[in-house]
Structure 1
Amino acid sequence: MTVLVVTNDFPPRQGGIETFVRSLCDELPDLVVLTSRTPGDTQYDEGLSFPVVRDRTAMLLPTPRVTRSAVRVMREYGADRVLFGAAAPLGLMGPALRKAGARRIVALTHGHETWWAGTPGARQALRRIGDAADTMTSVSTWCAAQIAPALSRPAADRMRRLTPGVDTKRFFPESGGEQVRKGLGLEGVPVVACVSRLVARKGQDTLIQGWPRVRAEVPEAVLLIVGGGPDRDRLEELARRTGVAHAVRFTGSVPWADIPPYLDAADVFAMPCRTRRFGLEPEALGIVTLEASATGKPVVVGDSGGAADTVRHGETGYLVDPYNPVATAVRLTELLTDPARARAMGEAGRAWVRDEWTWARSGELLRQLLDVR
């Protein structure tokens, strides 16, 4: 029962999907990965307990050549189950792999498949992918609702929700936040942290625009923006124009392995993510929000796509209008000025993640879907 994992989203590339796929691999008893080339892959692959076959290209596409390569890897390693790390477009190889001997095919969806579902041509391709798979999964209830109408009725009925998990042994209270605060000169001051790539969809500009209102109530508060990305210059200019540059700190890119202490350094986690491009660019889930909850922090999250699945409004944090800096600032101020409430929400969030967002739970479902033991 060897599983062939076919994916472009695999380390050493960094990102949420890469982490998701890599962590699911740890939940499978016998597997081989077919993926694309990326800088540093040879050294990374040497440390793995399972084989990785790297294609010669930097991006796998469902071409005849790549399909023949996948069939060859299946036969070489005796694989009879297939997991597509992202359904679109690699899932288009499903019929060929079925013909080559795949007994079960599972195709993961994330966020970009919602765009496929709403676009002529791509929508028909997604339908073929769903028909070729035994199960297509979704990371959130919102994603499922967007994708299902593009599928045939049988494929839609076979969909299952398969979410990322959170490693609560990595993300936990007092996981190094004091050292981060000391290194950044933030000892003893209220901190709101946003940990994410600096792209327009994540809503860091909403936090900056609302920061004068937060500072009016909490004069020493600092906004800590953790991560790198193409939006940094625009955000720094916005902080200067808004008059809060002295109260906004940019860390630049931080390796995923080093993220827990930055979440732990916060009093509140905030990411007012938004839906852009006429609905074609939503937040599929937002696993970092759950990682913040696991670290014991109250969260303030934008109401975009599947982000609502990552917060229990009023219990573990708040869901806010990501286009409303004032409303976002009100929630942040509420939490910064009421430490007892913030602490209670953080504790509730950690308990919720510990009980319901585990990799063991996700792995058990995946093994069921693939029919492996």
Structure 2
Amino acid sequence: MAQRTMLITNDFPPRTGGIETFGYELARRIPGAGNGSVLVYTSSSVGQREFDRAQPFAVVRDPASTLLPTPRIARKAADLVREHGCDRVVFGAAAPLGLLARGLRAAGAGEIVALTHGHEAWWSRLPGVRLTLRRIGRDVDVLTYLGDYTRDVLYGALGDTARHRLVRLAPGVDTGLFHPERDGLPVRERYGLGSGPVILTACRLVARKGVDTLIRAMSWVRVRHPRARLLVVGEGPDGRRLRELARWMGVDGEVVFVGAHPHEDMPGFFAAADLFAMPCRSRRAGLEAEGLGIAFLEAAASGVPVLAGNSGGAPEAVRHGETGYVVDGRDPGEVARRVSRVLDSPEHARAMGLSGREWMTQEWTWERTARRLEFPHG
């Protein structure tokens, strides 16, 4: 009998974000996903009905907007494991839902995998949550990490009984959806970007992503490239401040805010860009850092050079000097110099884009990640 997997997560489309993409891309690539071998248990979200109907696997939506390890959620999850005969459970994010692991094992789950992202790495530095992660690590069979940065942080948080359960499971990219042959003209025309250079950033608008550094850098970039535009895709609590900063810096004509867009729209934005930049920076004494950054991978797969901040695991998504650059996300001058370096030489930018595309197709596909999930100890 084929293995049946239940993915339990708060981070699932139609919500947008890197963790949402991670869970969805894995779920649809698990062998037999369209034949009843995958069940997703997740929270409610706007637009869920249309999205869920289009999926090849079953999606069970809890009425709550956030799943927490409460007695009610624990009972519901255990009932689903028994009802659907799920012999494997995957937690889309280890904390806090990984606290349900013991009950789900008692309900019949033979293998339990907990995925970690950036926030577990941050939390592992806090004494109280550190103990929670240690418990989760003891209760699951596999605790994944994104790369060297998250591995090192988690290793320090886990006790001797759980460290051997750490397995690398990095995100991937759909190289068929994100590729260099897409046409960026429709996006350029829709937002009046013209034919000049376009620097794209796409993220949740929070301070850690470094969009304010990009806006400050534009005052230098436009001296060398007066037709350059910064295209900002995303929304978030920092949005108002960033718009005011662009006006204050006198670059509001060069910075174009277009709001949040669904993931399926993003290939067109990358196609319109000459450079993707997200100069993220660590905050709160290192407690808040970038885990990795799927957007960096999608840009590279699209043949676009990448500029990443030196926060957390973000540098692991860039080959410095080959597929893009790693910069200090707090230094607008350095960001401006690197942006201008790419825009100064289209040939250099094209070579970086080709190198990034080749790297993605060789080492960063979702198929590779899904195989790793199937055989985590292989």
**TM-score between both structures, scaled by the size of structure 1:** 0.96
- Cα deviation digits, residues 236-262 of structure 1 (max 9, x gap): 211122122221111122221111111
The answer as to 2:38 corresponding to 1:31 is: yes
Which whole-Å CA distance do the structure 2 matches of 1:175 and 1:53 have between them? 35
Unaligned runs of 5+ in 1: none
Which whole-Å CA distance do the structure 1 matches of 2:339 and 2:50 have between them? 43
**Displacement of 1:198 after TM fit?**
1.6
The answer as to 2:234 corresponding to 1:227 is: yes
Alignment partner, residue 46 of structure 1: 53
My pick for the range that moved more, 302-311 or 33-42, is 33-42
Cα distance change, pair 35–370 in 1 and its aligned pair in 2 (3 A): farther
- Cα deviation digits, residues 279-314 of structure 1 (max 9, x gap): 121111111011111111111110101101110001
Which whole-Å CA distance do the structure 2 matches of 1:55 and 1:238 have between them? 40
**Displacement of 1:7 after TM fit?**
1.1
**Displacement of 1:214 after TM fit?**
1.0
What SS does structure 1 have at the residue aligned with 2:217? helix
- Kindly indicate whether the alpha-carbon contact (under 8 Å) linking 2:180 and 2:303 is maintained by their aligned counterparts in 1: yes
Letter of the 1:16 partner, please give it: G
Unaligned runs of 5+ in 2: none
What SS does structure 2 have at the residue aligned with 1:278? coil
My pick for the range that moved more, 166-175 or 321-330, is 166-175
Q: % of aligned pairs identical?
A: 51
The answer as to 2:182 corresponding to 1:187 is: no
Alignment partner, residue 7 of structure 1: 9
The answer as to 2:252 corresponding to 1:245 is: yes
**Which of the residues 334, 344, 359 maps onto 2:341?**
334
Letter of the 1:238 partner, please give it: L
Cα distance change, pair 346–211 in 1 and its aligned pair in 2 (3 A): same
Alignment partner, residue 285 of structure 1: 292
Letter of the 1:234 partner, please give it: R
> What does residue range 87-98 of structure 1 map to in structure 2 within 5 Å?
87-98=94-105
Alignment partner, residue 371 of structure 2: 364
The answer as to 2:111 corresponding to 1:104 is: yes
The answer as to 2:73 corresponding to 1:71 is: no
- Kindly indicate whether the alpha-carbon contact (under 8 Å) linking 1:140 and 1:309 is maintained by their aligned counterparts in 2: yes
Alignment partner, residue 320 of structure 2: 313
**Displacement of 1:84 after TM fit?**
0.6
- Kindly indicate whether the alpha-carbon contact (under 8 Å) linking 1:270 and 1:300 is maintained by their aligned counterparts in 2: yes
**Deviation beyond 3 Å, 4+ runs, structure 1:** none
Letter of the 1:100 partner, please give it: A
The answer as to 2:133 corresponding to 1:126 is: yes
Alignment partner, residue 18 of structure 2: 16
Which whole-Å CA distance do the structure 2 matches of 1:226 and 1:317 have between them? 20
**Displacement of 1:132 after TM fit?**
0.7
**TM-score between both structures, scaled by the size of structure 2:** 0.95
**Displacement of 1:365 after TM fit?**
0.7
Which whole-Å CA distance do the structure 1 matches of 2:15 and 2:68 have between them? 17
Which whole-Å CA distance do the structure 2 matches of 1:255 and 1:75 have between them? 34
- Kindly indicate whether the alpha-carbon contact (under 8 Å) linking 1:164 and 1:287 is maintained by their aligned counterparts in 2: yes
Matched pairs, number: 371
Which whole-Å CA distance do the structure 2 matches of 1:256 and 1:138 have between them? 23
Cα distance change, pair 103–264 in 1 and its aligned pair in 2 (3 A): same
- Kindly indicate whether the alpha-carbon contact (under 8 Å) linking 1:88 and 1:126 is maintained by their aligned counterparts in 2: yes
- Kindly indicate whether the alpha-carbon contact (under 8 Å) linking 2:122 and 2:289 is maintained by their aligned counterparts in 1: no
Which whole-Å CA distance do the structure 2 matches of 1:46 and 1:193 have between them? 32
Alignment partner, residue 269 of structure 2: 262
- Cα deviation digits, residues 182-229 of structure 1 (max 9, x gap): 222223211111112221111111011111211122222111112222
Cα distance change, pair 132–209 in 1 and its aligned pair in 2 (3 A): same
Measured on the aligned residues, the alpha-carbon RMSD in Å equals: 1.4
**Displacement of 1:43 after TM fit?**
2.7
Which whole-Å CA distance do the structure 2 matches of 1:115 and 1:41 have between them? 30
- Kindly indicate whether the alpha-carbon contact (under 8 Å) linking 1:165 and 1:359 is maintained by their aligned counterparts in 2: yes
Letter of the 1:264 partner, please give it: A
The answer as to 2:113 corresponding to 1:143 is: no
- Cα deviation digits, residues 130-166 of structure 1 (max 9, x gap): 0011110012221111111111224212211111111
